[in-house]
Amino acid sequence: MKTFYYIAIFLTLCIITVSGASEFVPEKPSFTAPRSQSTTGPIPPKGVKPKKPDTLELKATDKIITGVPGYAWRHGCGPTAVGMVMGYYDTHGYDNLIPGNASTQTEDVNQAIASQNNQANPRHYEDYSLPLDSETTSTTILPDKSEAPPGDEHSSDCIADFMHTSFSSDFNRYGWSWANMIATAWYDYIMLYAPGYGPSYENFHSGNPLTWEILKTEIDNNRPMVLLVDTDADGVTDHFVTAIGYRTTLGYQQYACLDTWAPAETPRWERFNSIKPGTPWGIWGGTRFWLTAPTPTPTPTPLVPIYVKADYPTISDALDAAVNGDEIIVEPGAYLENISFEGKNILLRSLNPTSPCIVARTIIDGDHKLPVVMFNGDETEECIISGFTIRNGYNIITGGGILGNHTHATVKNNFIIHNESHIEIFGPSSAMGGEGGGVHQCHGIIENNIIAYNKSFGIDAPDVQTDGRGAGLYNCNGIIRNNLILENTVEEKGKGGGLASCDGILENNVIYGNIAPDSGGGLAECLGSIKNCIIWENNAPSFAQLDDATSIPLYSCIQSWSGGGTGNISDPPGFIYPEAGIFYLDNSSPCIDKGDPDSRYNDGCLPPGKGSARNDMGAYGGPNNCFSLFQPQKTALIDHILNRFSMPHQIVPIFDMNQDEVLDVSDLVLFLKQEL
């Protein structure tokens, strides 16, 4: 049973109807609900005006996406709204998403949205909707199979499962969902049934606002979105809808949506406004989705790599000369540059991105002038930067190390260290704090990096105050996995020493020793899925490890944790030698084999994984653990030579500088020479 004293914080009184009870109209919650949760049932709350067939003709400047199927509320507005997006793509070339014809709401469609069978062979409805919260007038959520012990529930097989709809362990009543799980459900469902389609997404909320231009761009490109709105203008979110169109009428910007309510196929037009009391259908945020078409892989034409220093003296010169698809290989050295990809999908790598010594010796140094690495935002996951030390970047407000501009490029196998994002003062009492000292607005895959010793600056002066945020990473909404996020600091005022406003998928990271002067030493305001992580030794006056605006992690090791969540532990993680940067797990660590038991999260390689194949918490577990970046620290080598520490066998080759298979003073001399 979960701890029910959280109920007053997380829940509202809402009696939701079920099939056969359409005459009952649920009451709106009588006190403030969390602002990113849906709380409605299969019919609108009181006070919501019924939709009517629209008679206005669209002008040439207006747009509505045709062919988006209108599905009726199926055990939750969230999975139904995502289901309509899934159904649209299934009928437009991606036909492995839903069995049969998804243009209408068939039984196959219903099972894809929220599976249902019987008590002998339970699926989503039986495991998580039952017992129905709507059968009681109490504010207490009735516990379901999402509660401990793990393993007594069915394997996730539908959108609602992956969205955690109705999960009592997530403080959801029947049919409720959280906004941060929309993208997770989209990604996990497609990876289960059609992984070759390449699911991608981006979340929009107060930290990454949904603008009219963004909505128009998605609709113009025939990509329906899911929005979280406030239907009855009380300033509190309550319902997910599928956005399919836009127009300007009598000077007002309007969006069209399929709202899951009868008649489900009829679009509803509402004014495009942000959520606030008195504004019906105001928008809290949303999610955009896209897929990569499954096309046969053509026989590639071999490309001749471009070499720095042999072909071009600088990385910038090589990038200027390169075109999409080129590979640039950089020889070891210190390059005093600030580089830009300019939208090109290029592989930029060191000689050997899987060698920590090569990564440490292939340095792009920003010289405290500009961000070290810049993207313009048009790059896809085929754009890769791998195998560099990215250091000494500087910027005002936004990222000092890597400035993403919402790029979807892949960032992996790098040391991203000693970068800074500073405040800008606009006047005697106006300023904006630094965000993302290390990495800023990168929405692609961020994996196997060490992101450490970066800073974001706030200010707390008598006449001007502003927060710094996310010294390590800020507003990165893709997949963040198998990284060491260490000792990043927000200076003077602010939150999120390690990460802030990162709403993507965080898996198998170590978040350690980060500092914030106000709250969220490790994480702040991160609304995505957090799983299989170790969050330890972070520091802040309040919420040292993660603040209360961050999602509740799952299967993670969190210092002094008492906030619930499936599979979480608070025992010391048992790192081998964290003071010297060695975050491998000791053989007695409680984090071994304690990650998500789903086989999809099994360790890819043993070692560095330990124990059985089940996921190990931390950066050296999970399916992507086969290469583990490690930054050598001379402290470990000195202590090994003096017999104060026994070097783990898997990292002995990193310190064996003369390759004689013996660690001694000669290796220390060569190591220190390399550091100079």
d(CA 237, CA 36): 6
Tell me, yes or no, if the pTM score tops 0.85: no
Bridge partner list, 228: 240, 285
Tokens (6 digits) for 178: 């959280």
The two counts, helices (H) then strands (E), for the chain are 12, 44
Q: What is the pLDDT of residue 28?
A: 29
Contact 605, 599 (CB under 8 A): no
Distance between CA atoms of residues 511 and 498, nearest Å: 7
DSSP secondary structure letters along 644-664: SS---GGGHHHH-TT-SS--S
DSSP codes of every residue in 473-488: EES--SEEES-EEES-
Q: Which pLDDT belongs to residue 5?
A: 26
Tell me whether strands 63-64 and 239-249 are parallel, antiparallel or unpaired.
antiparallel
State both tokens at 54: 């629209």
Looking at residue 16, its pLDDT comes to 27
- Render pLDDT for 169-220 as a digit per residue (tens, 0 to 9): 999 999 999 999 999 999 999 999 998 898 989 999 888 899 999 999 999 9
pLDDT, residue 554, reads 96
| Three-state secondary-structure class, residue 107 | helix
Residue 548 CB-half CA count within 13 A: 7
480, 436 in Cβ contact below 8 A? no
**What is the spatial distance between Cα 241 and Cα 412, in angstroms, rounded to a whole number?**
35
Distances (CA, A) of 147 to 5, 159, 164, 506, 620: 16, 19, 12, 22, 27
CA distance 381 to 393: 23
Instruction: Pull the structure tokens for residue 645.
Output: 């520490």
- Between helix 665-675 and helix 634-641 the angle, nearest 10°, is 170
Query: CA angle, corner 632, sides to 626 and 635, nearest 5?
Result: 135
Residue-level pLDDT at 659: 67
Bridge partners (DSSP) of residue 386 are: 349, 412
SS3 track for 238-264: CEEEEEEEEEEECCEEEEEEECCCCCC
Angle, to 10 degrees, between the axis of helix 77-90 and the axis of helix 182-193?
40
C-alpha–C-alpha distance, residues 36 and 239, integer Å: 10
pLDDT of residue 13: 23
| C-alpha atoms less than 13 angstroms from C-alpha of 132 in its C-beta half-sphere | 12
pLDDT at 667: 75
Adjacent-strand bridge partners of 306: 328
By C-alpha distance, which of 498, 530, 462, 453 is closest to 180?
530
- Cα 206 versus chain centre, distance: 15
The set of residues, in sequence order, having a beta carbon less than 8 Å from that of 507 and lying 6+ positions away, is 479, 480, 481, 482, 529, 531, 532, 533, 601, 622
> Residues 284, 306: contact at Cβ < 8 Å?
no
CB of 463 within 8 A of CB of 429?
Answer: yes
The per-residue pLDDT for 292 is 74
Residues of the chain with pLDDT below 50 are 1-34, 135-136, 295-299
Query: What phi and psi, each to the nearest 5 degrees, are found at residue 524?
Result: -140, 130
> Which class for 219: exposed (0-12), middle (13-18), buried (19 or more C-beta within 10 A)?
buried
The pLDDT of residue 470: 95
Calculate ∠ Cα 301-302-307, nearest 5°: 140
> What pLDDT shows up at residue 206?
82
Length of the chain: 676
Between β-strands 339-340 and 389-391, what pairing exists: parallel, antiparallel or unpaired? unpaired
What is the model's pLDDT at position 55?
63
Q: Which residues pair with 225 in a beta bridge?
A: 243
In this structure, how many other beta carbons lie within 10 angstroms of the beta carbon of residue 57? 7
Q: How far apart are CA 95 and CA 112, in angstroms?
A: 13
- First CA to last CA distance, the chain: 57
Residue 427 confidence (pLDDT): 79
According to the model, what pLDDT value does residue 111 have? 97
DSSP assignment of 75-98, as one string?
Answer: S-HHHHHHHHHHHHHHTTT-TTSS
Cα distance between residue 472 and residue 452, in whole Å: 7
618 phi-psi bin (left φ>0, alpha ψ -120 to 50, beta other): left
Tokens for 39?
A: 């709380």
Contacts of 295 (CB under 8 A, 6+ apart): none
